[in-house]
Structure 1
């Protein structure tokens, strides 16, 4: 079976975990602090705060932006459901706008029409690793005095051309960017997340919020020669990363350039092998974007039965996934808990008409040729 994705882990991560276990400090501690520093350096961010996952990162980022009950947050339905859920965790209403049919990202041209007096933030998604059009979203958010949060769950290693220079997603270019380290992602810690921000006060809020609102961290209390009694000035959460996860993440960061380069090479090879398939839509990468190619999404020819193609490929031993979901189509999003800021035609088309092909470091040239052969046979 050719899997849709596989994490790239080996003895280096195992040795790092062993180091943590033997240290006796296995939850949020020195490894987490080191991972945060190294992550800052990797993406060019002034602040990075490790989290238990990207969903919790999004929740705290929205809270730091002041999102509360009765507010609205402009975002996309065409994303994993955690994006919209994080808005609802704050008691706010997600306002869904449609995506650009080429990039599957938030269409900046539709955002301004969705802004109301209740709008507090824009939550954009760098979908399956393809960067959003931040050059349009940043000034738009500033014009309306809105926070701009980047759901960068899939985008570690992706880049955008910013003021004539290539910069990493996560610098960040909005107010905060939130990453996932789930096994499906390019960089994995088993599970986990990170928030980067340019605001020191936001970073302080993240650190307070992730540890139950506790005023003194374990590390400070442990290192003090005096007895310290902590207090809890506000409601917090248990959103911490463990040192075991952070140690894995530190090793993963070292190989990130190699992992991204490999994915870019595979994406280019897919393009070559699929170029002659009639009606098949290949991914669009804007001139100002460099994807990490977390996923390779193709749009099936008009009239193709998506499920039949996926089943045929599964029968041939190749895993695929349907196009990215739409939250507004799920039972958990019955009418009343969200609002449409535009039609969602392109979002629904993207879910219905695209499939994700396998892409991970362990694919060989023979694997890629087999995947393409099977896709062509399924489309015949």
Structure 2
């Protein structure tokens, strides 16, 4: 079976951790990630969802998001005490986007994209940028996330908030409770895997580029994502079933959230692109371990079963 994603396997030597929870592995990874994306400060966290929750907590904001979005984003926004509405954006998938813009700074959700010097290119010094280390993301781990910024004060608050509201002292016994916080910190296991995958990211990007260019040329697409390769087909359920019979795993990223009664908005939005995407879009295998023969097999099956909508 040709897999949709690749999740690297690692052997973990816990004797190198020092502390299984908040040890030096976490600090080293934060510094390494900051250097890669060009930010000065970072707070690692147990998931990007938790990062969005804390970043929007008690803002009492109306946050506009794409309808085609992972539901965890909406969950975090709503549970943080905000309201939401939807926009008809189906092109953000695989890229970063502005989650919300306040008067003095913005929050950038880059859960599906990691680039060198990205913070300096896309953000201002006071902005927050959030990344995900969900296993299948560009830098995967045992889940996890990170918030980066050039604003040290903001990052220090996140460090305290996700460490049960405690001061961020190196020695456990010197930490003091400053406010009721959350247990959302990244542990050493997550940091170790994320650090290894970050070290392999440039090589992974090169391989993905070759796969993507072959797909684009053969299927008449202009995909630029380094996370998902999505197509629009006439009959998605039938397509996925036929591809599976050919030994190829496909997926759906994502459903139109405005059609889900759980996420009803007070606005009656007309979102035709999202509604079309909800029933036609499918993701095909796209990862760094695909061989040329496997890519050609996927292309052949897509041409056979896809009846693609360009």
Superposition TM-score, scaled by structure 2 size:
0.90
Q: Does structure 1 residue 328 correspond to structure 2 residue 255?
A: no
Moved over 3 A (4+): 20-24, 169-172, 339-342
SS in 2 for 1:321: coil
Tell me the number of residue pairs that the alignment of Structure 1 and Structure 2 aligns.
305
Contact 1:73–1:92, Cα closer than 8 Å, also in 2: yes
Structure 1 residue 170: Cα displacement: 7.7
Maintained 8 Å contact 2:112/2:227? yes
Q: How far apart are the structure 1 equivalents of 2:276 and 2:269?
A: 15
- Find the partner of 1:178 among 97, 107, 130: 130
Tell me the secondary structure at the aligned position of residue 205 of structure 2.
helix
Do the aligned partners of 2:4 and 2:284 also contact (CA within 8 Å) in 1?
yes
**Which of 86, 89, 92 pairs up with 2:79?**
89
Equivalent in the alignment of 2:182: 237
> Residue 17 of structure 2 contacts residue 25 of structure 2 at CA under 8 Å; is this kept in 1?
no
Matches within 5 A, 1:1-380: 1-9=1-9, 13-14=10-11, 17-18=12-13, 20-63=14-57, 67-68=59-60, 71-99=61-89, 101=90, 104-105=91-92, 127-128=93-94, 130-132=95-97, 141=101, 145=103, 147-157=105-115, 167-168=117-118, 173=123, 175-217=127-169, 219-221=170-172, 228=174, 230-275=175-220, 282-285=221-224, 291=225, 293-300=226-233, 304-333=234-263, 335=264, 338-340=265-267, 342-379=269-306
Q: Structure 1 stretches of 5 or more lacking a match?
A: 106-126, 160-166, 223-227, 276-281, 286-290
The CA deviation string for residues 98-119 of structure 1, in whole angstroms up to 9 with x for no partner, is 11x5xx22xxxxxxxxxxxxxx
> Residue 237 of structure 1: SS of its match in structure 2?
coil
CA offsets, 1:316-336, max 9 Å, x none? 111111242222223432x3x
Q: CA deviation at 1:196?
A: 0.9
- Tell me, in whole angstroms, the C-alpha distance in 2 between the residues paired with 1:340 and 1:36: 40
Once the two structures are superposed, what CA deviation does each residue of 1:296-326 show, in whole Å capped at 9, x if it has no partner? 11122xxx11111111111211111124222
Question: What do residues 266-322 of structure 1 show as CA deviations (whole Å, max 9, x unaligned)?
Answer: 1001112223xxxxxx2455xxxxx4x21111122xxx1111111111121111112
The alpha-carbon deviation at position 180 of structure 1 amounts to 1.1
Consecutive unaligned residues in structure 2, runs of 5 or more: none
Distance 1:170 1:39 in 2: 13
TM-score by length of 1: 0.74
The secondary structure found in structure 1 opposite 2:200 is helix
